[in-house]
Structure 1
Amino acid sequence: MFVKKYNQNKRVKKYHFCLLVNKQATNYNERAIKKLIKSILNNGHHFTVLEPNSAFSLYDQAQSAAGLKRHRGVVLSQVKKWGNITALIACGGDGTFNLVARAGFKSNLPVAVLPMGKFNNICQSVYKTVDPDKIIKKILARKHQIITINAGEIADQMFFSSVGLGFIPKLQEILEEKKQPRFGFGWSQFGTKAATIKLSKKTILKVDSFKFETSPKMINVNLLPYSCGIPISNASLLDDGMCEIIFDVNVNTKKFGNYLSQIIKRKFVYGSDFRMYRGKSICIEPVEGYNLYLDGEIIEVPSDMIEITVLEKALKIFA
């Protein structure tokens, strides 16, 4: 793992942070943003705040902040005043982070996330907490770390946490309308309900050079442990250049309920009913007509076959 440390014996690097704020995030937190700004100033750094009003605008402004597009507006004036932006902070959920991280990945700038989404999968995977105060301390610590995490690509779309078909998109749909259960029994009920969806009777999976057929209700590909706020992939490592593909083999809906309950309790071990393989390249077909879960967002599958690749280059992130 690439880790860059800054210690007290060396001159501390000064950053020009760009905060890309999603004010439509499920758990938008103005207090946390103000505290982040105060901490940035107290530590002698500079900042620029952008508040785009759409996903398209967010990505466009992230690219401008990262120097991938011509500087303009607020970014231009702040760059003239404080110099180029040297780090990006996504203030929102997983979808916000995904768009900001794409710009950071392409420009080789380090990124961070101030969690304001419903599930905050990337934040839970990297920081092991969703407490804004603790995360602000990590980002702005004098001896902070910059590590690298895996990045993946599917149909020209980048992702940094997970993509999924079947069970996970359906579970997210259920959770969007309900509060997350506190106990295993509630999760079991949601798991049983989400498992009513079924993919093609014959789905062809290819993991690197290993090809086989199955009839799953769930296919999930994870770079990081969390999907839908659930630690579904306990084998995921941050920057090993590999992904985990998780799928079921002819499992009934009741077993899905138990599976989800045990996952929440961190007691589940993958075996014959629910399997986990590791690889760098995944191919899945047929998938036309299904929804795809991608870093917390639900999108239409773009074709009848999808290829998923773990990229050689990794993303820099404050940790």
Structure 2
Amino acid sequence: MPNKSLNKPQRILFIVNPIAGDIVKDDLKEKIETFSEKRNFAFEIQYTKGEKDNQLIAEAIRRFAPDKVVAVGGDGTSNLVAKILINGKIIMGIIPMGSANGLARELNIPQTLSDALEVVAARKTRAIDTITINGTHLSLHLADIGINAQVIKRFERDSIRGFTGYAKHFIQELFAAKPFKFAVTLDQKKITQKAHMVVIANATKYGTGAVINPRGNISDGQFEIIFVRPYSMWHLFQMIIPFFTHKIHELDYIKSFSAQKVTIHNYGKKELQIDGELIGRLKEINVEINPQALEILIPERRSKYFFSSLTDET
């Protein structure tokens, strides 16, 4: 007998951040409506408002009872949606419309609306790990302490957006940054290190395509702690090519450890960012993996137009 559930129209809830990435989304509803008629699914759109969004999304899920909930925005929007869906039965999708879209790039999700909608309408999924930080914060992609978090802080205060604005502040921070003392308690062992940045990596690369964790796998039940140790001016130039050729871990001033649970002692109380969102200056940061806690839609096959990942979808 045919499986009737496969013939039943899908119900898809789109969670749209209207200001993500400074991308105009005026015609988004019309395009989704046209696509829904083509692919035969029912949909509803819930716009985020910047306050009580968790409550708004939860209420929309209860009201609409979707099969899939799709984050339309950047990594912050994906994080917001994931917090509600984690360890549940509803599948999550992503339509990347943020400034960097790191998680989408990690999963090879198309950067164009029409192609991303095709992924949303299809049924191929992957179970990915998530990370809990200090018991309340969720990380899907990359969190870090130090240089990059400080760049994000500068970036948020600037009127220049997009990659140009980020690159400007990244270069300024590289030349101005000073190393601070960090320690990681890992498997009952305490590792003390001076570093410019400590990365908590569930994924392999940033939204820019820079690969910080070449051996990472977003579904392997562990994460990596990466120390970017003190560098000279020469080291700055040495880092550029390895960042984009998956060889950053081979440099002698990059130190990486795999773990399922760690405590980071942030002696200098440097800024922490999680999935592109500033959290603050925390002295102690407790990190724990949640293996394959989120089911997420991915492309049926890879495309030559997207950044490739080192990890194959299963």
TM range (shorter): 0.7 to 0.9
Name the count of aligned residue pairs.
291
Q: Deviation per CA, 1:299-319: give whole Å up to 9, x if none.
A: 213x42111111135101111
> Bigger CA drift: 58-67 or 219-228?
58-67
Measure, in 2, the Cα distance between the counterparts of 1:87 and 1:205. Answer: 38
1:235 aligns with 2:215: yes
Q: CA deviation at 1:127?
A: 2.2
Q: Structure 1 228/145 Cα, relative in aligned 2: closer, same or farther at 3 Å? A: closer
Measure, in 1, the Cα distance between the counterparts of 2:229 and 2:96. Answer: 35
Q: Which of 14, 18, 23 lines up with 2:18 in the alignment?
A: 23
Measure, in 2, the Cα distance between the counterparts of 1:28 and 1:231. Answer: 29
The residue that corresponds to 2:254 in the other structure is 274
Measure, in 1, the Cα distance between the counterparts of 2:205 and 2:115. Answer: 19
Q: CA deviation at 1:188?
A: 10
The residue that corresponds to 1:45 in the other structure is 41
Alignment TM-score, normalising by the size of structure 1: 0.80
SS at match of 1:11: helix
Q: CA deviation at 1:268?
A: 3.3
Q: CA deviation at 1:279?
A: 1.2
Measure, in 1, the Cα distance between the counterparts of 2:142 and 2:258. Answer: 14
Alignment-mate amino acid for residue 180 of structure 1: F
SS at match of 1:61: helix
Q: Unaligned regions of 5+ residues in structure 1, if any?
A: 1-6, 68-75
The residue that corresponds to 1:215 in the other structure is 194
Q: CA deviation at 1:285?
A: 0.6
CA contact 2:151–2:170 (8 Å) conserved in 1 = yes
Q: CA deviation at 1:46?
A: 1.0
The residue that corresponds to 1:256 in the other structure is 236
1:46-125 equivalence runs, <5 A: 46-54=42-50, 56-67=51-62, 76=63, 79=64, 84-125=65-106
1:297-312 equivalence runs, <5 A: 297-301=277-281, 303-312=282-291
Measure, in 2, the Cα distance between the counterparts of 1:195 and 1:317. Answer: 38
Measure, in 2, the Cα distance between the counterparts of 1:231 and 1:37. Answer: 37
Alignment-mate amino acid for residue 40 of structure 2: G
Measure, in 2, the Cα distance between the counterparts of 1:135 and 1:87. Answer: 14
The residue that corresponds to 2:272 in the other structure is 292
Q: Which of 22, 32, 36 lines up with 1:36 in the alignment?
A: 32
Q: CA deviation at 1:135?
A: 1.4
SS at match of 1:152: strand
CA contact 2:15–2:48 (8 Å) conserved in 1 = yes
Q: Deviation per CA, 1:174-230: give whole Å up to 9, x if none.
A: 55545536xxxx969944733533353x32112334421100001001111233533
Q: Deviation per CA, 1:19-78: give whole Å up to 9, x if none.
A: 111111122434455323322232221111111311x332222222334xxxxxxxx3xx
Measure, in 2, the Cα distance between the counterparts of 1:212 and 1:106. Answer: 32
Q: CA deviation at 1:246?
A: 1.3
Q: Deviation per CA, 1:72-121: give whole Å up to 9, x if none.
A: xxxx3xx3xxxx22211111111011001111115331111111110100
CA contact 1:288–1:305 (8 Å) conserved in 2 = no
Q: CA deviation at 1:291?
A: 1.5
Q: Structure 1 228/274 Cα, relative in aligned 2: closer, same or farther at 3 Å? A: same
Alignment-mate amino acid for residue 154 of structure 1: I
CA contact 1:190–1:257 (8 Å) conserved in 2 = no
Q: CA deviation at 1:171?
A: 3.3
Q: Deviation per CA, 1:255-276: give whole Å up to 9, x if none.
A: 2343145313545343421122
Q: CA deviation at 1:173?
A: 4.1
CA contact 2:142–2:275 (8 Å) conserved in 1 = yes
1:150 aligns with 2:135: no
Q: Which of 11, 30, 33 lines up with 2:6 in the alignment?
A: 11
SS at match of 2:184: strand
Q: Structure 1 291/48 Cα, relative in aligned 2: closer, same or farther at 3 Å? A: same
Q: Structure 1 109/16 Cα, relative in aligned 2: closer, same or farther at 3 Å? A: same
Q: Unaligned regions of 5+ residues in structure 2, if any?
A: 299-314
